[in-house]
Amino acid sequence: MPKLHITWHERGAPSTGDPSLWLRLLIGTTRYIHVLHVVVLVPVVEKEVKTSFSNTTKSNMDKDEPADATETPGGGGGIAAAKMQSTADKSIKIVQADSEQHGVVAPVPSKRGGRRDGLVFLQEGRERFELEDLLRASAEVLGSGNFGSSYKATLVDGKPMVVKRFKEMNGAGRADFNEHMRRLGRLVHPNLLPVVAYLYKNYKKDEKLFVTEHMVNGGLAQILHGGATSSLPRLDWPARLKIIKGVARGLAYLYEELPMLTVPHGHLKSSNVLLNAELEPILSDYALVPVVTPSHASQVMVAYKAPECAAAGRASRKSDVWTLGILVLELLTGRFPTNYLQKGREGTTGLAGWVHSVVREEWTGEVFDKDMRDTRSAEGEMVKLLKVGLGCCDTDIAARWDIKEALAGIEEVRERDPADDSSTASSYLSDGAGAGAASDHPHSLST
């Protein structure tokens, strides 16, 4: 511990009644305490927090599992579950923002090279909590994937939150990262999962944590492919149509609000579509491309699996639309795209290629998920949505639908076939009017 030295510059012994003496003494003492806090205490506290959190999660981070089916970043109970504990010091306090920028709380300015450690809340009007509350909360692992691990932390008041600890997120420096987070904080849409707060630590090794709300029904992938591990009933046609409409609206909003991004979402897949209590879809893990390590993004993010990325090595403005099309086909067929590719049954064309390979007259029996086959009154509308999915998955970028066309096509689909034409479904399958190839005009959806 450094010693406090006070040196008198005046000649002779100072008078105890000299006001300037006490003022200088007070100023000197204050400066010393400030230096003690910044130079000594802050790094120690940082190290304790990092060590505590790292020890808590080490066993779950040593080996990542595939993200597709198990990762539910803001979801309910996933496949894996475990407890994590914390020994964080009680004296740790959160540095909260005290200034606003476009309605978003901005990080507190620092006097030490931009150092700002602690939770930063992105939206006004939300209840604040401390980092210690999260570290001490009873928690369970929701999933582990290519980006890190997710935990459900139940605060003392019973409110569940989700903490996602990211790795491979070094695509931007602190200033650019904070600016991007403020940009995300300005996004408000009923089908987007807002980031409540984030943590950017810079002690020896960068660490990023996102805090979001918890979605009670977990991820769409778990419901579609989880089998007996999912407590929810199988999704019928109206529920699936509701989900894909919400997904399309959320994605279209991202395209509109983030025009500077080539892929506004970048990682759209069924495990990143969460469901709330009303089965409304909530998109998560969106707009992360600017902050993820570039080499990692190109290897694992779903948008970079689009055909043009394999051919030209880079994404396009329609790469996210391709992921939307894959999600449409996944919902309609009930088939898991990644597993299906691993079986080697479609070569490089994926799920869309398999759908094209099935004779149109057999779509109802062979393509659609069996959980929807009792919806005879909606087969024509189901085929119409299937056509939208194929249009979004066209390998030719010029022919592939854009986001506005995709949204318009999805919005046209209804729960039931037109009441005045009960033969709509059979006419779709017999004459191919609704089962056209992806290159058909995007607005020719009706028979």
| Residues 344-391 pLDDT 10s | 444 445 889 889 888 888 887 889 998 886 777 899 999 999 999 999
Full DSSP string of 355-392: HHHS-GGGIIIIIS-GGGTT-GGGHHHHHHHHHHHHHH
- Give a yes or no: residue 20 inside a domain: no
| Number of domains the chain is built from | 2
| Residues 149-199 pLDDT 10s | 999 999 888 889 999 998 888 888 889 999 999 999 999 999 999 999 999
* Virtual torsion, Cα 153, 253, 245, 142, nearest 10 deg: -20
| Residues 416-431 pLDDT 10s | 887 644 444 444 444 3
* Residue predicted with more confidence, 47 or 93: 47
- Give a yes or no: residue 405 inside a domain: yes
* Residue predicted with more confidence, 87 or 216: 216
* Highest-confidence segment of 81-90, 102-111, 261-270, 341-350: 261-270
- The verdict on 296 and 205 lying in the same domain is no
- Give a yes or no: residue 154 inside a domain: yes
- Report the alpha-carbon distance of residue 298 to residue 435 in Å, rounded: 33
Secondary element (H or E) of residue 27: helix 19-35
- The verdict on 172 and 132 lying in the same domain is yes
| Residues 25-81 pLDDT 10s | 555 555 554 444 444 444 443 444 444 444 443 333 333 333 444 444 555 444 333
Give the up-direction half-sphere exposure of residue 410: CA atoms within 13 A in the CB hemisphere.
31
Per-chain mean pLDDT for the chain: 73
Q: What is the CATH classification number for the domain harbouring 287?
A: 1.10.510.10
In this prediction, residue 265 carries a pLDDT of: 98
- Give the pairing type, strands 281-283 and 273-275: antiparallel
pTM over 0.85: no
- Give a yes or no: residue 447 inside a domain: no
Which two three-digit tokens encode residue 82? 């475990």
- Closest by CA to 364, choosing from 237, 244, 227, 223, is 237
- Report the alpha-carbon distance of residue 288 to residue 276 in Å, rounded: 22
- The verdict on 198 and 264 lying in the same domain is no
What is the pLDDT averaged over residues 263-278? 96
Distance of CA 106 to the CA centre of its chain: 21
Alpha helices (H) along 263-392:
294-300, 307-312, 319-333, 337-342, 350-357, 379-392
Contact between 428 and 378 under an 8 Å Cβ cutoff? The reply is no
- The verdict on 146 and 258 lying in the same domain is no
In this prediction, residue 228 carries a pLDDT of: 60
- Give a yes or no: residue 27 inside a domain: no
In this prediction, residue 422 carries a pLDDT of: 45
- Give a yes or no: residue 242 inside a domain: yes
In this prediction, residue 237 carries a pLDDT of: 95
- Give a yes or no: residue 21 inside a domain: no
- The verdict on 240 and 368 lying in the same domain is yes
- The verdict on 65 and 108 lying in the same domain is yes
- The verdict on 263 and 318 lying in the same domain is yes
Q: Long-range CB contacts (< 8 A, 24+ apart) of 356-364?
A: 356/390, 356/437, 360/429, 360/432, 360/435, 361/429, 361/430, 363/429, 363/435, 364/425, 364/429
Name the residue range of residue 412's domain. Answer: 233-431
- The verdict on 152 and 264 lying in the same domain is no
Name the pLDDT band for 321 (thresholds 50, 70, 90).
very high
Residues 6+ positions from 62 with CB-CB distance below 8 Å = none
Q: What is the CATH classification number for the domain harbouring 184?
A: 3.30.200.20
- The verdict on 185 and 311 lying in the same domain is no
What is the pLDDT averaged over residues 130-137? 83
In this prediction, residue 66 carries a pLDDT of: 37
- Give a yes or no: residue 19 inside a domain: no
